[in-house]
Structure 1
């Protein structure tokens, strides 16, 4: 990828994060990239191609894979903290804003598969973890998909609210949230 193309992609993705796909124009992208608008069309067919090319780059996608959840101790509290922490370290409020901007009806059919990979990997990996914990006799037989959805919803909810309201809604810090929410979750399982 040449430097100009990368500047175009970076400008487009930043603008979409700030104001959404629909409101971002090629003129805006050119201005942010400090290039002439016609240069965009020499490098890309249009805004949609810029975005889809950007989503292929690690810096513009969530980069969630089972490999980031491999530091397992087989102890519920520290493992769930690790799951949440590793997710939140990658799916930042800035990434959530970009993801929201990429859900415009004009492009969502194309961006949806890439966006959907993030929660799917988290959920599938967590379900497998719960199943293995059960096999090891460390968890009772429960609805592991429901447990995984609870952990995911709590994790995503935190970053979504931070993306939406920063510290205006709550001043609870990420690490405090992780420890306290996992502690409550583990206590709930233990009481079953």
Structure 2
């Protein structure tokens, strides 16, 4: 079992590596550079992660949003469509914002490290499953008219991902509404379409 200070060291290494890789790209960043920035020895990095690739995979696993969404769907759903979709949308955008660096690395390295897509794509696939199940139950409860829960889940997540991507790549010149205003408008529009 990892000691508390070792866990703190590993987290510091991960955070440093993520920021450097986001700014420079995976291949351009060296273990030596990560070690210097994290104020640890190169041997410490190898002891914790063995390789630079494993370090990145660990960062992606650590920042998985699956657990928080599983908890949301198991404990926070009220079966009120508008409230639930607002909660789901807010949580999704908060999690994506918290993981912006991982997202940017995956976009930068999609051609040089196609296996990275496998790790990163786990999050949206699981989230789609959770949301499709939610829509299926809402349909069974006669609280929404949903013919294809999978397509409804993809549609809703595409709204959210589009907002996050636009904000990430185009910034405030393109997105002028606040996140809360966007979520409110998106959820209300979506609810009108399926109730």
**TM-score interval for Structure 1 and Structure 2 normalised by the shorter chain:** 0.7 to 0.9
Decide whether aligned partners of structure 1 residues 19 and 163 sit closer, same or farther in structure 2, where only a CA change above 3 A counts.
farther
Question: Does the Cα contact within 8 Å between 2:20 and 2:29 map onto a contact in 1?
Answer: yes
Counterpart check, 1:156 vs 2:161 = yes
Question: Does the Cα contact within 8 Å between 1:20 and 1:100 map onto a contact in 2?
Answer: no
Post-superposition shift, 1:113?
3.4
Decide whether aligned partners of structure 1 residues 162 and 19 sit closer, same or farther in structure 2, where only a CA change above 3 A counts.
farther
Post-superposition shift, 1:106?
4.3
Q: What's 2:190 paired with? A: 185
Higher helix share: 2
TM-score, scaled to structure 2: 0.81
SS at match of 1:56: helix
Which of 121, 128, 131 is the equivalent residue of 1:126? 131
Distance 2:146 2:173 in 1: 40
Q: What's 2:99 paired with? A: 95
Q: Which runs of 5+ in 2 are unaligned?
A: none
Q: What's 2:144 paired with? A: 139
Counterpart check, 1:167 vs 2:172 = yes
Distance 1:107 1:23 in 2: 13
SS at match of 1:175: helix
Distance 1:166 1:19 in 2: 20
Distance 2:124 2:93 in 1: 12
Post-superposition shift, 1:48?
0.9
Post-superposition shift, 1:47?
0.9
1:84-110: per-residue Cα shift (whole Å, max 9, x none)?
111112121x5133223135244441x
Decide whether aligned partners of structure 1 residues 115 and 175 sit closer, same or farther in structure 2, where only a CA change above 3 A counts.
same
Distance 2:188 2:128 in 1: 19
Q: What's 1:113 paired with? A: 118
The count of corresponding residues between Structure 1 and Structure 2 is 186
Question: Does the Cα contact within 8 Å between 1:76 and 1:186 map onto a contact in 2?
Answer: yes
Question: Does the Cα contact within 8 Å between 2:135 and 2:146 map onto a contact in 1?
Answer: no
SS at match of 1:158: helix
TM-score, scaled to structure 1: 0.82
Counterpart check, 1:13 vs 2:13 = no
Decide whether aligned partners of structure 1 residues 171 and 47 sit closer, same or farther in structure 2, where only a CA change above 3 A counts.
same
